[in-house]
Chains A and B, each alone.
Chain A
Amino acid sequence: MRNFCKKFINTSNKSMRFLYLLFSFLTINVLSAQNYYLYVASESDDTVSLLKFDGNMIKEIKRINVGFYPTEVEGPHGITVDPSGDFWYVTLAHGNPFGKLIKYSTKDNTVIDETTLGLFPASMEVSKVTGFIYCVNFNLHGNMKPSSVSVIDAETMTEITKIKTGSMPHGSRISKDGLKQYSVAMMSGELFEIDALSLNVSRILNLEKNSGKNHSKMKMSEKQMNHSVVKPTWVIPHPTKGLAYVAGNGSNEIIEVNLDKWMISKRIKVEKGPYNVEISPNGRYMIATLKGSGETAI
């Protein structure tokens, strides 16, 4: 919204009538718009495609080469668009050795700025409250040890802090109110909640079945890094309810977590290998990719 309003700054000296007409035009345009734009990262090709969907057809309208080494695969992995729609961000997983976060303009898809993050930076999202980007350092090919969530100030592209979480964190998603960030640790089988304002881990939930451990009261160093059976790969908070859904890639289930009680409220059996989970903005539908069976479930 910040940048949306910014566009109107230039018109602030014009007459109120002009503003009204402009707002009207924009609103009508929004309501009648049939075009949707998507950015898609191609991990092994070091490219990002801009797709246009008009309600019937989807087509690639631009392909953007990303990265810094023409002769090395840098692996664009996570991609997100700023709530204002003015910028998009992509993580490059492979650096030497740390990966990068690159900021682009949606206007002309040119690079604006960059910063270095941790090992294999992956999924991320921007909080509408703080304006910060919360990005997991997946460390996909590293040793089984706790990794982190990087918090980046999108305005200055500064990595503000690294918050220690679990082993192979993935699926960074922000609550609707912008105040909580959720990620799962794939190899330690945990759900992490980070307070978007205090920049600390506020709660940890063990997602394994038959686990009696209360991880939230344990220090990270005290925990044994056992290989998770659930292998959670993604988490999405519900847009209207106090629930979050976790893809249990190893246990072939979608796990419903009651965020108020901070406990697992349901385990939904699905086909093999759920990986990504998203929920429609109205909260009515969940879509999950089933990597093992090569299907998409709704």
Chain B
Amino acid sequence: MNKKISIFLLCINFCFSQDKSIISNLENLTLNMGEVFKPKSQAINSDGSAVKCVKVIYFNKKGVFSTAKSIIFDREKGTLQANDPGTHEVVAVCIDSNGNRLTKTFNVNVNYPKIKNVKLLTDQKSIYVGNYVKLTFEVTDEFDNKRIIDYWNYDKAQRYFANVGVNLTSSNDKIRIDSSNNILALEEGNTSITANFDGVTDKIDIYIQKNPISELNLISDNSNVKTGDVVKFDVIALDKKGNKLNDMPVEYSFTGRSFDKSSLASGLILEDGRFVGDIPGKYVVTARVGNITSSKIINVFPRNVKREVVGIGEGLVNDKHTSDFWVFEGVDGGDYAVTGTWGADGKAYFWDVSNPSNLKKIDSVQVDARTVNDVKVSQDGKICVISREGASNRKNGIILIDVTNPGDAKIISEYTKNLTGGVHNVFIDNNHIYALSNGERYYILNIDNPLQPTEVGMFEVGKEGQAIHDVWIENGIAYSSNWRDGVYLVDVGNGIAGGSPSNPVSFGNYSYDSGAHHATFPYKSKSTGKFYTVLGDEIFPKGVNPNGTNETAGFLHFVDFTDTKNPKEVAKYELPTHGSHNFWIQDDILYVAMYTGGLRIVDLSGDLLGDLYKQGREIGYLLTGNPKGYIPNDTMVWGAQLYKGHVFYSDFNSGLGAAKVLDDKPDNSKTNQYVE
């Protein structure tokens, strides 16, 4: 009975607590950057009487993760400090003597720091009547932080301008400034532009020249191209006397109409005059300098690269998930493969794939692991390395296997030093193994004596929160995929930066905003000689669905790394609603595992620019779901490898497979059912 009464009283207590609230000097608080403030809060009842808080605890609703230091707390002094401009949510938690909590969230506004200095810049050598003036704003605040608002990054400018009083004026009517602060040159002569940022001003004098061009000729090397072909446009500008004018500020644009009235013209033109058409159609490309224009018509025809892709053989694994795989030529000249397994019993399977239409499982090894995520074989076909995760003794590490006779694979050694956090991916190259450790770094092991691998080097990005997912070696360069830190190019023997396996030297890096960089494939275009690193994302936007189709996202980023100091992202391959995983490129053809989107084969010939999928570069695809699969009929392609003319792949749900790209074009007779 006493118990019942106490529960009842607690309920009463809680019910009353609903009428309590917190009052605080955080209400409507505005701080300046760097300002330290001591919050004071009090809980009160609805009648205004005070409720004693044993403690009031404050926190920033963004948390304390490295990216959220806008408001930080000194808990010993009981103060907070404003570090970032904007509006931030601060939560006050009052804990009363009965252990009841009362919380309230306050919006704390932090002023943008006072502007100390503004500088207006332009890199335009000449501004002609009819051209836009491309200004850059360099704003220095009272803390000497410099903010560059570039002409092209107006998204950043818009956010900043919304919080700072910005006003652009001109000294006369020779220019026109629109509501988005775009500046159009109207008349020849001198003018000046004054920018006022919260009372701090700067002025730039501009001379608008009369357009010297009397004739503009737009030229290109081709008028009839295929979708995805990059056409480079140039202009020849002539003055009245027919003299050639150099370095003219040309602005390019295009219009177009697709050949198929059910489709829409689409393409891309860059500032340097490179144009690519995505959709077959007629495009009018225009160059403009001031009021002088020149146009040229480009016919963009279908790329016509579609080919039949057929499944040749399957090595079904349906009692567990399959992970990565590797196909190799054995010492006996036969063709073999090894596949890993995921979330299961630590097995790796060996296959005879000499006849791709009859993939035969010939042996297996079992190690202490739940997941053998990655498998690789040495160039000489003698040593296989497999990774371990989820070992019962938590030592994980790697296992070396003698595969001189793949039908009788024998474990040579286990290596766990510094690899206990789990090895997700490995690579083997010239008697060295590159093994990821705990998703943070990779170790380099010499296996001259495979019985006793020896650690000779290690590479890590060296940043807080460093993370790594994969490493791939080619020509003495290690390409590591480091999620938000992007790809790192590391000399491990190439010589480009004086590195070696025992002295890995980083010499190149490229990262991008999504932070989902998962795999890298280095690739030198046969047709153009350009060198790319192709960077793949891995994203599961809705987490894990173990019993059905997983939603996947992300794409391949093509980064022109020809100049290692100045990499440029130029193109992407994105399959709508399906995400990328592992991939292989050979002879200007991409073989990519698009997880739920199946195995995809893509033409990479020629220069690469823009949206490769949209450009009709896809040669074909194969959906690999199997009715007898671990999850029946569920396509989830993990990786792809071209080997002796066949495309091998592994599927998470069905094991190993082999496909063939035929010369035949696909049968489209049923596509347009009502066309005779």
Q: Using a CB–CB distance below 8 Å, which chain A residues touch chain B?
A: 1-2, 4-6, 8-9, 12, 19-20, 23-24, 26-27, 43-46, 65-73, 75, 94-98, 111, 115-116, 128-131, 140-142, 153, 155-156, 158-162, 178, 197-200
Residue in contact with B64 in the complex, picked from A46, A66, A161, CB distance below 8 Å: A161
B323 within 8 A of A: yes
Contact B4 A73 (CB under 8 A): no
Contact B7 A23 (CB under 8 A): yes
B242 within 8 A of A: no
A69 touching B544 in the complex, CB below 8 Å, given contacts A97-B439, A197-B55? yes
Residue in contact with A20 in the complex, picked from B4, B73, B638, CB distance below 8 Å: B4
Contact B63 A27 (CB under 8 A): no
**A129 CA to B57 CA in the complex, in Å?**
12
Shortest C-beta distance, B63 to chain A (Å), equals 4
Q: Which residues of A contact B638 (CB under 8 A)?
A: 71
B71-103 Cβ-contact flags toward A at 8 Å (1 or 0): 001011000000000000001010100011101
Contact A97 B466 (CB under 8 A): yes
Contact A96 B469 (CB under 8 A): yes
A2 touching B439 in the complex, CB below 8 Å, given contacts A19-B8, A27-B4? no
Q: Which of B514-528 contact A (CB under 8 A)?
A: none
Shortest C-beta distance, A220 to chain B (Å), equals 15
User: Which of these binds chain A: B10-18, B264-272, B666-674?
Assistant: B10-18
**A9 CA to B546 CA in the complex, in Å?**
38
Residue in contact with A72 in the complex, picked from B54, B73, B424, B465, CB distance below 8 Å: B424
Residue in contact with B546 in the complex, picked from A65, A131, A153, A197, CB distance below 8 Å: A65
Shortest C-beta distance, B15 to chain A (Å), equals 6
Q: Which residues of B contact A6 (CB under 8 A)?
A: 14
B342 within 8 A of A: yes
Shortest C-beta distance, B419 to chain A (Å), equals 9
Contact B64 A162 (CB under 8 A): yes
Contact B75 A159 (CB under 8 A): no
Contact A115 B63 (CB under 8 A): yes
Contact A71 B4 (CB under 8 A): no
Q: Closest chain B residue to A131 by CB distance?
A: B101
Extra pairs beyond A5-B10, A131-B93 (8, CB < 8 Å): A5-B14, A45-B390, A73-B390, A96-B439, A116-B63, A129-B99, A160-B57, A197-B55
Contact A159 B65 (CB under 8 A): yes
Contact B65 A23 (CB under 8 A): no
Q: Which of B288-330 contact A (CB under 8 A)?
A: 323
Q: Can you show 11 pairs from A to B with CB atoms below 8 A apart?
A: A2-B100, A45-B343, A68-B544, A70-B546, A71-B652, A72-B424, A95-B467, A116-B63, A131-B93, A140-B394, A198-B75
B40 within 8 A of A: no
Task: Report which residue of A27, A44, A155, A200 has the largest number of chain B beta carbons within 10 angstroms of its beta carbon.
Answer: A44
Instruction: Tell me whether chain A's interface is mostly helix, strand or loop, or mixed.
Output: loop
Contact A140 B421 (CB under 8 A): yes
Q: Which residues of A contact B434 (CB under 8 A)?
A: none
Contact B420 A141 (CB under 8 A): yes
Q: Which residues of A contact B4 (CB under 8 A)?
A: 20, 23-24, 27
B438 within 8 A of A: yes
Q: Which residues of A contact B420 (CB under 8 A)?
A: 140-141
Residue in contact with A69 in the complex, picked from B8, B64, B392, B540, CB distance below 8 Å: B540
Q: Which residues of B contact A96 (CB under 8 A)?
A: 439, 467, 469, 483
Residue in contact with B439 in the complex, picked from A94, A129, A153, CB distance below 8 Å: A94
Q: Which residues of B contact A98 (CB under 8 A)?
A: 65, 465
B506 within 8 A of A: no
Residue in contact with A8 in the complex, picked from B11, B93, B545, B546, CB distance below 8 Å: B11
Residue in contact with A156 in the complex, picked from B61, B73, B545, CB distance below 8 Å: B61
Residue in contact with B390 in the complex, picked from A12, A43, A197, CB distance below 8 Å: A43
Q: Closest chain A residue to B391 by CB distance?
A: A44
Q: Which residues of A contact B10 (CB under 8 A)?
A: 1, 4-5
Shortest C-beta distance, B521 to chain A (Å), equals 18
**A178 CA to B546 CA in the complex, in Å?**
38
Q: Which residues of A contact B234 (CB under 8 A)?
A: none
Instruction: Tell me whether chain B's interface is mostly helix, strand or loop, or mixed.
Output: loop
Q: Which residues of A contact B15 (CB under 8 A)?
A: 5, 9, 12
B550 within 8 A of A: yes
B50-75 Cβ-contact flags toward A at 8 Å (1 or 0): 00001101011111110000000101
Q: Which of B17-45 contact A (CB under 8 A)?
A: 18
Q: Closest chain B residue to A6 by CB distance?
A: B14
B511 within 8 A of A: no
User: Which 7 A-B pairs give the minimum distances between C-beta atoms?
Assistant: A141-B421, A44-B390, A5-B14, A160-B59, A44-B370, A141-B438, A96-B467
A197 touching B57 in the complex, CB below 8 Å, given contacts A65-B544, A161-B64? yes
Q: Which residues of B contact A94 (CB under 8 A)?
A: 421-422, 438-439
Q: Closest chain A residue to B469 by CB distance?
A: A96
Contact A200 B75 (CB under 8 A): yes
**A155 CA to B371 CA in the complex, in Å?**
35
**A5 CA to B11 CA in the complex, in Å?**
5
**A131 CA to B94 CA in the complex, in Å?**
11
**A158 CA to B422 CA in the complex, in Å?**
29
Contact A27 B439 (CB under 8 A): no
Contact A199 B14 (CB under 8 A): no
Contact A142 B544 (CB under 8 A): no
**A125 CA to B25 CA in the complex, in Å?**
32
Contact B438 A142 (CB under 8 A): yes
Q: Which residues of A contact B546 (CB under 8 A)?
A: 65, 70
Contact A130 B101 (CB under 8 A): yes
Q: Closest chain A residue to B551 by CB distance?
A: A70
B531-544 Cβ-contact flags toward A at 8 Å (1 or 0): 00000001010011
**A110 CA to B61 CA in the complex, in Å?**
23
**A158 CA to B92 CA in the complex, in Å?**
13
Residue in contact with B544 in the complex, picked from A23, A67, A97, A156, CB distance below 8 Å: A67
B437 within 8 A of A: yes
Shortest C-beta distance, A20 to chain B (Å), equals 7
Q: Which residues of A contact B392 (CB under 8 A)?
A: 44
A73 touching B63 in the complex, CB below 8 Å, given contacts A2-B100, A94-B439? no
Contact B438 A160 (CB under 8 A): no
Q: Which residues of B contact A12 (CB under 8 A)?
A: 11, 15
Q: Closest chain A residue to B389 by CB distance?
A: A73
Contact B543 A153 (CB under 8 A): no
**A69 CA to B323 CA in the complex, in Å?**
13
B261 within 8 A of A: no
B150 within 8 A of A: no
**A72 CA to B543 CA in the complex, in Å?**
11
Shortest C-beta distance, A147 to chain B (Å), equals 13
Shortest C-beta distance, B389 to chain A (Å), equals 5
Q: Which residues of A contact B7 (CB under 8 A)?
A: 23, 26-27
**A169 CA to B122 CA in the complex, in Å?**
55
Residue in contact with A158 in the complex, picked from B61, B76, B439, B545, CB distance below 8 Å: B61
Q: Which residues of B contact A69 (CB under 8 A)?
A: 538, 540, 544
Contact A161 B73 (CB under 8 A): yes
A155 touching B75 in the complex, CB below 8 Å, given contacts A46-B343, A96-B439? no
Shortest C-beta distance, B70 to chain A (Å), equals 13
Shortest C-beta distance, B408 to chain A (Å), equals 29
**A143 CA to B39 CA in the complex, in Å?**
38
**A91 CA to B253 CA in the complex, in Å?**
53
B363 within 8 A of A: no
Q: Which residues of B contact A197 (CB under 8 A)?
A: 54-55, 57, 95
Contact A68 B540 (CB under 8 A): yes
Residue in contact with B93 in the complex, picked from A19, A65, A130, CB distance below 8 Å: A130
Q: Which residues of A contact B391 (CB under 8 A)?
A: 44
